[in-house]
Amino acid sequence: MDFGEEPEGSDSQRRRKRYHRHTPRQIQQLEAMFKECPHPDENQRAQLSRELGLEPRQIKFWFQNRRTQMKAQHERADNCFLRAENDKIRCENIAIREALKNVICPTCGGPPVGEDYFDEQKLRMENARLKEELDRVSNLTSKYLGRPFTQLPPATPMSVSSLDLSVGGMSGPGLGGPSLDLDLISGGSSGIPFQLPAPVSDMERPMMAEMATRAMDELIRLAQAGDHMWSKSPGGGVSGGDTRETLNVDTYDSIFSKPGGSYRAPSINVEGSRESCLVLMSAVALADVFMDTNKWMEFFPSIVSKAHTIDVLVNGMGGRSESLILMYEELHIMTPAVPTREVSFVRYCRQIEQGLWAIADVSVDLQRDAHFGAPPPRSRRLPSGCLIADMANGYSKVTWVEHMEVEEKNPINVLYRDLVLSGAAFGAHRWLAALQRACERYSSLVALGVPHHIAGVTPEGKRSMMKLSQRMVNSFCSSLGASQMHQWTTLSGSNEVSVRVTMHRSTDPGQPNGVVLSAATSIWLPVPCDHVFAFVRDENTRSQWDVLSHGNQVQEVSRIPNGSNPGNCISLLRVINLINPPP
């Protein structure tokens, strides 16, 4: 079909031959315009008419026929792909039925279940149920993304046993349809059940206690070492300085030599950093935070996506001094473009003297988790931690040392490559910045009698708003992780700039039950971060970026200060509908 022809039944048959063919240059420009705007308006058609020497009516018919052809191609491709997927599911059912014939009961060693139990009719019913669930989630995705799910790009295929049902997409060599993992609906799982490291055996306890003691001694030496151990690099510190301290790896290896530690694989990157600052919390209270995994997650939601206490090896005085616990945590940057880091380590808390505490972390033996069937870890925490010294007026001086070995097996997203490889993504500077903000929030929550610049907020209302805001922050941060249990599907764009989506079922207390669809992307803006922060937090500019308030004014009803920075606050906003204003 020639794209320049008028539709059948046109009353301009005599001019049809004149419109029958176009030059290659005209076709090229029309195709380029179609990619940018498949539905040009009259002004755009008139401009094309002047540039190409064609009549607007001819251009109109060309775009109509081009859209019709593209629609037909997509429908044919979708039908072919669905037929292929039906054949795939049928083959999977046959393979499963054949495998079940050889199953033997592990308890009694009896014969497999009868053939009639796995009849074809029951498998068809299961396939129909899965197809209905797929259609429901596909409609939900189309509703929130604004386009059919069948137009999504291909995703990583799942294993045969997961019964991956794919729909839509272009068929052909090298092309695949988008895949929707049904396990995402039940919690964003990748099909690999989450399993904590095994508890500590009696034989392992003395070994781990010795490791923790050595790590504590090394931490104190690193925290108090001079310039020979630490080199200064440009970059604003938490305490207001112009430099940051990074570990001199060669000097460290020569002083703290370990058996087999002289050789590192080329894929292993060493990250070491040190930072000091004042935080608004006593040393004893900070020790409580470090030894309680629930408080640990509440204080660092932007870094710690998951934390568990695997075993309490030693329960010291008051659960603090001389306490030793085995912990597991997942560290993340708030983006699905960078995978999380999983670390299993022992944490040792010691009161060195009155008003001086030390918290030391060190990863356990790398072979321990592999012995229990877990995959070898890609991240290893070398002796790290912090020294906490009580100061005046309820402040504490915290010296944080962060030291890790990380094996990066996959390429890092270009937007975050420098941040991760430099060690700043999980360095001491970021930990202390998060700790300062958490202590300021906690101090604001305790100080219920502080007045606000907007009246009408009672102490009980302030406490409720602050707790609600903290739950919002925790939920937002946890939803952006990219762990094995929280898989994301790339929708469009290149590896550098792309939109990723994930789905999970909401089961948190106080939250409505249902499927939650999350979408995220990362972009680079050539402006300072404080300018972006000021733009986003200004209610007068909110209608320019918030789709929920687009075209309407936003009024601040109440504000609760939440730190020393005036921009750190909790605001209660109201959207004013200019078309139908409230009475």
Nearest of 419, 416, 386 to residue 403 by alpha carbon? 386
Tell me how far apart the alpha carbons of residues 377 and 363 are, in angstroms, rounded to a whole number.
10
Structure confidence at residue 260 (pLDDT): 53
pLDDT value at position 314?
87
Torsion, Cα 426 432 433 438, to 10 degrees, reads 110
* Residues 353/338, Cβ–Cβ less than 8 Å: no
Q: Point out which residues pair with 348 in neighbouring strands.
A: 324, 360
Give, in words, the CATH class of 24-73.
mainly alpha
358 phi and psi, to 5 degrees?
-140, 135
| 31: CB partners within 8 A, 6+ apart | none
Q: Angle of helix 24-36 relative to helix 56-100, nearest 10 degrees?
A: 60
CA 369 to chain CA centroid, Å, is 25
Distance from C-alpha of 60 to C-alpha of 35, rounded to nearest angstrom: 15
Question: In DSSP terms, which residues pair with 569 in a beta bridge?
Answer: 561
Rounded to whole angstroms, the Cα distance separating 298 from 302 reads: 9
Instruction: Give the pLDDT confidence score for residue 192 in this predicted structure.
Output: 45
Rounded to 5 degrees, what are φ and ψ at 321?
-60, 130
What are 220's two structure tokens?
A: 């104190």
Which CATH number is 203-231+244-253+266-448's, of 3.30.530.20, 3.10.180.10, 1.10.3720.10, 3.40.47.10?
Answer: 3.30.530.20
Q: Rounded to two decimals, what is the model's pTM?
A: 0.63
Secondary structure of residue 479 in the 3-state scheme: coil
Beta pairing class for 514-521 and 498-506: antiparallel
Mean pLDDT by 10 residues, the chain (583 residues): 47 45 75 80 81 82 85 84 82 77 56 53 75 68 50 36 30 34 35 60 85 93 90 71 82 78 74 92 92 92 91 80 90 87 91 92 66 58 94 91 86 84 88 92 71 61 85 85 75 68 75 80 88 89 82 83 80 75 52
Phi, psi angle pair for 152, to nearest 5°: -75, 150
Residue 571: predicted pLDDT: 86
Task: Report pLDDT for 78.
Answer: 81
Q: What sections of 354-483 are H helices per DSSP? A: 366-371, 417-421, 428-446, 459-478
Task: Retrieve residue 403's tokens.
Answer: 């030291």
Model pLDDT, residue 494: 55
As beta bridge partners, residue 270 has 405
CA–CA separation, 503 vs 533, rounded Å? 28
**Residue of 66, 42, 67 whose CA lies nearest to 56:** 42
pLDDT for 400: 95
Are 192 and 487 within 8 A, CB to CB? no
Domain boundaries, the chain: 24-73, 203-231+244-253+266-448
Residue appearing with tokens 């504000």:
559
